[in-house]
Amino acid sequence: MGKTIGLIGILGWLLLSVSSLHAGGFALTEKGVKGQGTSYSGGAAAAQDASTIYWNPAGMTRLETNEAAAALLMIKPSFTFKGESATNLLGAPIQPAGADGGDAGFYNYVPNLFLSYHINEKWVAGLGVVVPFGLGTEYDANWVGRYHTVKSNILSFDINPSVAWRINDQWSVGAGVSFQYLSAELTNAIDFGLASALSPALGAAFPGLTPSTPGSDGFAKLEGESWAYGFNLGVLVELSGDSRIGLSYRSQVQHDVDGNTEFTDPAGATGISLAAFGGNQDSEAKIDLPATASLSAYHQINVQWAVMADITWTGWNSMEELKVTSNGGAPDSITTLNWEDTWRMAAGVNWFYSEAWTFRSGLAYDPTPVPNAEERTPRVPDEDRFWLSMGGTRRLTPSLSLDFAATYLWTLDNPELNKVATATNENNLRGNLKGSYDADSIILGVQLNYLF
């Protein structure tokens, strides 16, 4: 039984490592603030600053001089759960009834750094440091879904050296390598009252525990980390001085996550250590983060106006399941996700108001890979989103400029949640949880650009 509990905790960790990234569509879209102002509709074609290192390294050939950029984006998601029912595997209500957890969203800060350097007239080198995955949630400790999650906190960063080659006046190509780090700190309660009712051995060790009540809960703190590697490619075709098309690809990144689950006894336990039932366990899992491909177009209408559009495919079908292996001898645990590929679409406009000021805006449709309420997780509830962004650039000196942008993300439908517990699935000690969310997000960004 202890090994089963350990697997449940580890599985919760891995589910969070995935689902807590949904606030940006599993991967954070926020790479550069100039692009944020158009909801990233310029994508692989805009090539207006050093952030093109991430979006399309071939775009570095359009930068007239060496450039350094530093950005900081503040992301505040809001996830307010409205519960319909919360019961354990035996059908009893999870206590305290009506405790929906408050607003689970919290402030997240995403830094970006970019540097491009002209080697000669044909070759440009670049380096990007970005946060490809992140965000998280934190509910009240005694909310009715605490056996699924209490706190989720994800940190990742990607170091992306790249190079671009201008073949001729029309064609440029680029390539890069990604060195990607991922870590997670995740917590959830464990229903030892229910586990004691289901297991005679555990019931004897923990007498007097009441199923699905805070006083009978244990607690799990889960940590894991991984380094992994990938690559990106890009092509930029300049059809004329005013129009260009970009195509970029970022590879799948395969993480081998090493983690540890730390358990805390229930407050009502009678002196038995959880170590007797498996205790802290090391674990590992393979997580294949999906590949992406973007096709973008940019057109300069006249000296004051430019328009752009982007469509981005993300291969979420690589996340069909999560397989967890424990070195404590427990059997493999498999969770089926059945996620689907998505196509993000965006369009935007630049208004070059004067030499000192540029303004921009954009709209995007960002669909979720989650197919239904049963596959959705309270770690971070995901649903189809719309983006509305506005921003601008203020040129401070010939070599220094400041970008700023604001984005509002919303859903047309409230994300519905319907987690079902059976005796044999991963929710057997987490319980049934049904309800919906009021969900939206605000993103504010600033970026300083230096030409040299």
Torsion (CA) 26, 31, 35, 40 in degrees, nearest 10: -20
Beta-carbon-side half-sphere exposure of residue 350 (alpha carbons within 13 Å): 25
Residue predicted with more confidence, 148 or 221: 148
Q: Are 205 and 181 in contact (CB under 8 A)?
A: no
Beta-carbon-side half-sphere exposure of residue 235 (alpha carbons within 13 Å): 8
pLDDT tops 90 at residue 6: no
pLDDT digits (tens, 9 = 90+) for 57-91: 999 999 999 999 999 999 999 999 999 999 999 99
Q: Are 232 and 250 in contact (CB under 8 A)?
A: yes
pLDDT digits (tens, 9 = 90+) for 91-120: 999 999 999 999 999 888 899 999 999 999
User: What is the structure's pLDDT at 266?
Assistant: 83
User: What is the structure's pLDDT at 364?
Assistant: 98
As a residue count, the chain comes to 452
Model confidence band, residue 20 (pLDDT cutoffs 50, 70, 90)? very low
Model confidence band, residue 278 (pLDDT cutoffs 50, 70, 90)? low
pLDDT tops 90 at residue 420: yes
User: What is the structure's pLDDT at 12?
Assistant: 36
Segments making up each domain of the chain, as ranges: 2-451
259-263 average pLDDT score = 80
2-28 average pLDDT score = 40
pLDDT tops 60 at residue 276: no
422-438 average pLDDT score = 93
207-211 average pLDDT score = 88
User: What is the structure's pLDDT at 337?
Assistant: 74
Task: State whether residue 201 is helix, strand or coil.
Answer: helix
316-345 average pLDDT score = 74
User: What is the structure's pLDDT at 194?
Assistant: 93
Q: What is 53-64 written as a DSSP string?
A: HHH-GGGGGG-S
Model confidence band, residue 323 (pLDDT cutoffs 50, 70, 90)? low
414-439 average pLDDT score = 93
Q: Of the ranges 161-165, 187-191, 420-424, which is most confident? A: 161-165
Q: Which of 185-189, 215-219, 296-300, 345-349 has the lowest mean pLDDT?
A: 185-189
Q: Which of 162-166, 330-334, 388-392 has the lowest mean pLDDT?
A: 330-334
23-44 average pLDDT score = 86
383-400 average pLDDT score = 97
Mean pLDDT of the chain: 88
* Domain 2-451, CATH number (from 3.40.50.150, 2.40.160.60, 2.60.40.1120, 1.10.8.60): 2.40.160.60
Burial class (CB in 10 A: 0-12, 13-18, 19+), 317: middle
pLDDT tops 80 at residue 332: no
140-158 average pLDDT score = 91
